[in-house]
Chains A and B, each alone.
Chain A
Amino acid sequence: MSLDRLQPGGSARTQLAVVGARSTTLTAQNGGDKLKGNLFYALLLLAIAFALAGLTAIVVQAFVKGSPALSTHLLTDPPSAIADRAGFRPAIVGTLYLIVGVIFLVVPLGVGAAVYLEEYADRTRWWNRLVELNIQNLAGVPSIIYGILGLAFIVRGPLDLGFILAAGSLTLALLVLPTVILASREAIRAVPPSIREGSLALGATQWQTIRRQVLPASIPGILTGVILAISRAIGETAPLLLVGAATFVTFNPSFFSDDGYTALPVLIFNYATRPQDEFRVLASAGVIVMLVVLLAMNAFAVWLRNRYEQQW
């Protein structure tokens, strides 16, 4: 007897019974259900199309509006009150400096915290659970609250750095720290216990195991998290407004000078709020510069994740 359900074998009587049974069960699904199903599917397609179209429109509109201003002057000229001569150089340099500071702070702190939580922390202890809950909560704190922290705690208050670029860097680093910790933890957790046990069985200490086995194996995941965190830090504007990223700086900034500094998104915001259309074109051109950098970084992170995703 044939096992193929679509082509039942057997006598003519069996085949007739199968055809009859099939026709009754299939017609039990009435036409209304089918219509509703199709309408629902259309609605789903509409929703996903709306989401994709809306988000890509942001990118497309920036290119359409900003392309007339795209030139190398945009990258090399300082801000100016005259739109023809205004560019983004101090802001781009400022953002670069901010990001260097963020990387310098957030990589050791974030990875260190993740290693502690995954490899050392005893979950039954209340303080370790507190740290975990705390990191989850910090990930949801609005960025402007970090600006307030930066203003009251880093610029003034205990640290008293003043309105300098390093204060901006520190504020942004605290802002993206939870992202790095959460991503690094995922990456470290993905390394199977057998790797650790093998290393420990060969006589390595716990730290040797972490440094030589666990961390190398989880580097792609950690790197992905760091890239995503940095791309968030590049676009973050609100906290910088509070910690002194002034908008009219015509010279390249440095880490600890208190002459003022600015950042790319802050200058974009400033240009966009000016009434003249020339400045709005400039703001869109600035958005293009920022988006190109960010989308390239995000795409690289996604590629990295897919390329090195290891199946143990």
Chain B
Amino acid sequence: MDARNTIGALSATGADRPPRSLAAPSGRWGETVVKALLALCAAISVLTTTGIVISLLTPTIAFFSEVAIGDFLFGTDWAPTFTPSSFGVLPLVVGTLSTSLWGMLVAVPVGLLSAIFLSEYASPRVRKVVKPIIEVLAGIPTVAIGVFALLFLSPTIADVFPFMVNIAPFSAGIAGLAIGLMIVPIIASISDDAMRAVPAGLREAAYGLGATKMKVATRVVFPAAISGIVASIVLAASRAVGETMIVLLVAGASPRLTFDPGASVQTMTAFIGTTATGDIAPGTVKYDTIFAVGSLLFVMTLLMNIVAIRLVRKYREVYE
């Protein structure tokens, strides 16, 4: 073996040589090429984001050269296809908030209580069966949930509670219920993980002080896992806001400024979904409207996701 490669040669004869590293003396170019290719794969994700921002931004700027930004954000009348047209986006925003709100009203209590059950009360055997079932059911496509809501929930609920469905079969409340079913697994699964990350020592200390099981679950474990729990809720809310197929099927298509659960409303996603399917010519205001609404939706969900990512990181730092 070449003497230069032994470590002993370094101090003995290396007085006039540059300092050596442990890396191979001549880098293999194949290794560099592989690294560059892999880095390119990772860069695709950044390109995707850039692509999303550019594809949203350019038509949105064109849109705002036609419509004043104040009229768009604070206008209360959404009629882009009528003449004279009106571009107040508030009815779409309220429609989105309404369906999401009803969905969260179902999903937050059910999801959190399910998470407490899975993490604190369920025996390991029950947990081992129930958690995978919930995770598999979380994979049900939203179009299937939408069909379920349209063909089953809407007629059934209209029979029992007529105030929930003003114009059959469309209703913001029923769309919300279906969205709730969609996001329950997200809240249950992530909150369960967060609560299980709470160290057993906290529970044992509380039991040692005489706390009941319910007190340990609600006053010790739940607050200790709060950032993960809030993260799951924010993440679920962002899913609810971005959901398209359920609202396209059961929320209706009438942009209206109301939180009435029985009303038919149009959400931002539903507007994009219905408008962009037809053959619309690029460059027209109608085409640009899709992108303006899309930008608003993107910004809303992006903010929620950033909050969720921060919170998840926080609870990881505390207990790992």
Contacts and interface: CB of A to CB of B under 8 A. Distances in A.
Answer yes or no: are A and B bound together in one complex: yes
Interface of A: 25, 28-29, 33-34, 36-37, 40-41, 43-48, 50-52, 54-59, 61-62, 65, 108-113, 115-117, 120-121, 130-131, 133-138, 140-149, 151-153, 156-157, 174, 177-178, 181, 205-207, 228, 231-232, 234-238, 241-242, 265, 268-269, 272-273, 280, 283-284, 287, 290-291, 294-295, 298-299, 302
Interface string B284-320: 0000001100100110011011101100000000000
Interface string B23-44: 0100010110011011111111
Contacts of B134: 51-52, 55
Given A141-B52, A145-B242, A272-B150, A116 B39 contact: yes
A256 to B, nearest CB: 20
B91 interface: no
A55 B45 contact: no
A249 B210 CA distance: 68
A188 to B, nearest CB: 12
B45 A140 contact: no
A153 B142 contact: no
A143 B242 contact: yes
A268 to B, nearest CB: 6
A238 B306 contact: no
Interface of B: 24, 28, 30-31, 34-35, 37-46, 48-49, 51-52, 54-56, 58-59, 109-114, 116-118, 121, 130, 132-137, 139-148, 150-152, 181, 184-185, 188, 210, 212-214, 217-218, 235, 238-239, 241-245, 248-249, 269, 272-273, 276-277, 282, 290-291, 294, 297-298, 301-302, 304-306, 308-309
A56 B152 CA distance: 13
Contacts of B301: 140-142, 145
Nearest to B188: A51
Contact of A302 (B136, B148, B245): B136
A113 B42 contact: yes
B207 to A, nearest CB: 12
Contacts of B116: 44
Contacts of A121: 42
Contacts of A117: 42
Contacts, number: 273
A238 B210 CA distance: 53
Chain A interface mostly: helix
Given A152-B55, A298-B136, 9 more contacts: A33-B214, A36-B212, A44-B114, A47-B117, A51-B134, A147-B276, A149-B55, A153-B51, A287-B148
Contact of A174 (B48, B118, B147): B48
A130 B46 contact: yes
Nearest to B140: A58
* 3 nearest A-B pairs in the assembled complex, by CB-CB distance: A235-B141, A142-B242, A112-B41
Contact of B55 (A110, A153, A235): A153
B172 to A, nearest CB: 18
Contacts of B58: 152
Contact of A294 (B43, B132, B141, B244): B141
B170 to A, nearest CB: 11
A138 B49 contact: yes
Nearest to B107: A51
Contact of A295 (B136, B148, B272): B136
Contact of B298 (A112, A141, A272, A302): A141
Contact of B147 (A25, A40, A287): A287
A28 B210 contact: yes
Given A112-B37, A141-B52, A265 B141 contact: yes
A43 B113 contact: yes
A70 B178 CA distance: 25
A302 B132 contact: yes
Nearest to B181: A54
Given A144-B269, A291-B140, A109 B294 contact: no
B245 A291 contact: no
Nearest to A128: B42
Given A120-B39, A131-B45, A141-B301, A273 B139 contact: no
